[in-house]
């Protein structure tokens, strides 16, 4: 039997746990033509959630454009990737795509070629640099033109939108702002990891996209949703597990979807069919995972300055919410002053080891947090 717990890829269908409220919110946003900016840490389930919502939209009534900005690094690749996604959602055959391009792509002149598997792909060749602004506008207008036909609701998703901050100029941000505000019949959803960067994009007054979209922070999945999801998958394989054991597992992973699935995957392997999960098995599953990362974690740990290690130790061992600049925290963890703690936090943020969380900080890699707890345990 195949392990039912999946991690590392986008999960859909059977492998997708709950998120009912979130699905409802996003569905309404789409129907209303809202502009929404959904952000969370990496691997918290943004892509899985949005793709699940898109999958459930009736095809006839909704045009779904999903643009993955991860591979992009410039204005030109933004136009190319967006153009390709727009064309791909308008048709799957070369003829259909050509027809759609003629109707909706304005002055953009993409070329279409067949890839190795015979699938048509579209390439938007950018001409001179001075045309970049116009081409960005043009590619963004495609969604509007389709929506103006009036027979389909259009939703455009930009995934990994923090990439835009690395294009070297704020042209795409400015063009997005000036176009999407006139697209009242198109829903735009921006997904971003690296919370502090994307927050800057939408919540910093000096940035072009300031308040251009409502913001929707995605949170971990609550234990009450994980318990039935995990229990069923163990029982389906004739493996017994107590709700309390699942709860304690979720406490260790803080309900973070990636780490919860990863630990469940390992635990499911530990337990033979016909047997019951024991607490020792949960520990053993975690041991296996931490041992696998041991070398990488040790190297990472050794790369931190002393105060950064102290700061992380405090963060890993203090019950949340942690107040890392309080005199108690500073004293208990040998940081000597709040400004030392602040400097450590800044450096760790820059390296994406920690992230902001409800006025405090958290350690992004939940297994690293558990590793630190063990490493410093008396
Ligand atoms: N609703 C969910 N149910 C179960 N597992 C999930 C869910 N959402 C995310 N995951 C787990 O988290 C991992 C990362 O999800 P993903 O959607 O790629 O996150 P993000 O886009 O935020 O980086 C998935 O591989 C899966 O293991
Ligand atoms: Mg993603």
pLDDT-based confidence at 253, cuts 50/70/90? very high
Q: How far apart are CA 315 and CA 361, in angstroms?
A: 8
% of the chain at pLDDT higher than 90: 70
Pocket test for ligand 1, best of 66, 257, 260 (most atoms within 8 A of CB): 257
Average the pLDDT over each of 58-72, 107-121, 171-185, 186-200 and give the range with the smallest value. 107-121
Of the candidates 86, 166, 180, 101, which has an alpha carbon nearest to the alpha carbon of residue 137? 180
Query: What are residue 354's phi and psi, to 5 degrees?
Result: -125, 165
**pLDDT above 60 (res 124):** yes
Closest CA to ligand 1's atom 24: 7
Q: What is the pLDDT of residue 125?
A: 65
Closest CA to ligand 1's atom 6: 257
- Separation of CA 20 and ligand 1 centre (Å): 14
Pocket of ligand 1 (CB under 6 A): 6-11, 16-17, 19, 40, 42-48, 193, 257-258, 261
Mean pLDDT for 86-114 is: 81
pLDDT digits (tens, 9 = 90+) for 277-308: 999 999 999 999 999 999 999 999 999 999 99
**pLDDT above 70 (res 130):** no
- Separation of CA 256 and ligand 1 centre (Å): 9
Helix orientation angle between 243-253 and 223-235, rounded to the nearest 10 degrees = 120
Pocket test for ligand 1, best of 193, 261, 355 (most atoms within 8 A of CB): 261
Q: What is the pLDDT of residue 129?
A: 53
Q: How far apart are CA 370 and CA 303, in angstroms?
A: 18
- Separation of CA 15 and ligand 1 centre (Å): 9
Are 127 and 163 in contact by the 8 Å Cβ rule? The answer is no
Count the alpha carbons within 13 Å of 344 in the hemisphere toward its beta carbon: 26
Mean pLDDT for 98-125 is: 77
- Separation of CA 169 and ligand 1 centre (Å): 31
Mean pLDDT for 203-222 is: 89
pLDDT digits (tens, 9 = 90+) for 345-360: 999 999 999 998 888 9
Considering every ligand atom shown, identify the ligand nearest to the alpha carbon of residue 45 and give its number.
1
Mean pLDDT for 123-129 is: 61
């Amino acid at each position: 039997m195949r392990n039912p717990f999946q991690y590392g890829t986008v999960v859909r269908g059977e492998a997708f746990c709950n998120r009912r409220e979130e699905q409802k919110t996003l569905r309404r946003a789409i129907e209303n033509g809202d502009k929404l900016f959904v952000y969370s840490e990496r691997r918290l389930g943004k892509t899985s959630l949005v793709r699940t919502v898109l999958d459930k939209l009736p095809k006839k009534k909704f045009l779904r454009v999903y643009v993955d900005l991860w591979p992009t690094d410039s204005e030109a690749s933004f136009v190319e990737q967006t153009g390709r996604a727009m064309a791909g959602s308008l048709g799957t055959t070369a003829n259909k795509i050509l027809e759609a391009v003629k109707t909706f792509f304005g002055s953009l002149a993409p070329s279409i070629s067949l890839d190795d598997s015979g699938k048509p792909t579209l390439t938007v060749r950018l001409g001179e640099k001075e045309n970049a602004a116009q081409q960005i506008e043009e590619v963004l207008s495609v969604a509007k033109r389709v929506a103006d036909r009036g027979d389909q609701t259009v939703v455009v998703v930009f995934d990994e939108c923090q990439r835009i901050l690395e294009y070297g100029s704020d042209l795409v941000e400015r063009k997005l702002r000036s176009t999407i505000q006139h697209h009242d019949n198109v829903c735009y959803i921006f997904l971003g990891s690296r919370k502090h960067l994307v927050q800057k994009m939408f919540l910093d007054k000096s940035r072009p996209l300031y308040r251009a979209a409502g913001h929707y922070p995605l949170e971990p999945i609550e234990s009450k949703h994980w318990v039935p999801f995990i229990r069923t998958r163990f029982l389906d394989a004739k493996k017994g597990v107590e709700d309390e054991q699942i709860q304690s597992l979720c406490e260790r992973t803080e309900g973070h979807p990636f780490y919860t699935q990863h630990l469940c995957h390992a635990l499911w392997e530990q337990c033979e069919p016909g047997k019951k999960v024991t607490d020792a098995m949960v520990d053993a599953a975690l041991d296996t995972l931490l041992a696998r990362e041991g070398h990488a974690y040790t190297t990472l740990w050794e790369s931190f300055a002393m105060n950064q290690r102290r700061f992380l130790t405090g963060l890993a061992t203090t019950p949340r919410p942690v107040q890392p600049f309080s005199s108690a925290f500073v004293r208990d963890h040998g940081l000597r002053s709040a400004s030392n703690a602040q400097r450590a936090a800044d450096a760790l943020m820059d390296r994406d080891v920690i992230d902001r969380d409800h006025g405090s900080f958290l350690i992004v890699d939940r297994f690293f947090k558990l590793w630190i707890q063990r490493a410093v345990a008396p």
